[in-house]
Structure 1
Amino acid sequence: MQVSKDSIDLGIVVTDEKAAIAFYRDGLGLEWEGELPVPGAGRMYRLKCGTTVIKLLKLERTPEAKPAPGGPMRGLGYRYFTISVPDIRGLMTQLESKGIRATVPVTEFRPGVTIAMVTDPDGNTVEFLQNSAPK
Structure 2
Amino acid sequence: MQRHVWLQPVIARPMVRWCYADKLAQKGSNMMLQLNEPALHAGVVTDNGERMLDFYTRVLGLKSVGEVSFPELGVVHKLRCGHSLLKLLVLDQPATSNNPRGGFSSATGYRYLCMSIMNLDEVVDACRKDGCDIPVAVKEIRPGVKAAMIEDPDNNAIELMQMD
Same fold (TM over 0.5): yes
Match of 1:77 in 2: 109
Deviations 1:25-59 (A, max 9, x none): 11111111122211332111111001111111012
Question: Greater share of strand residues, 1 or 2?
Answer: 1
Match of 2:51 in 1: 19
Matches within 5 A, 1:42-61: 42-61=74-93
Q: How many residues align?
A: 132
Match of 1:41 in 2: 73
Structure 1: 5+ residue runs without aligned partners?
none
1:122 is the counterpart of 2:154? yes
Whether the 8 Å contact between 1:36 and 1:44 is mirrored in structure 2 is yes
Q: Answer with 1 or 2: which has the greater Rg.
A: 2
Whether the 8 Å contact between 2:47 and 2:93 is mirrored in structure 1 is no
Match of 2:163 in 1: 131
4+ long deviations beyond 4 Å: none
Structure 2: 5+ residue runs without aligned partners?
1-32
How far 1:101 moved relative to its partner?
4.0
What's the TM-score, normalizing by structure 1?
0.88
Question: Quick one: percent identity of the two aligned structures?
Answer: 32
Whether the 8 Å contact between 2:124 and 2:150 is mirrored in structure 1 is no
1:99 is the counterpart of 2:131? yes
Whether the 8 Å contact between 1:104 and 1:116 is mirrored in structure 2 is yes
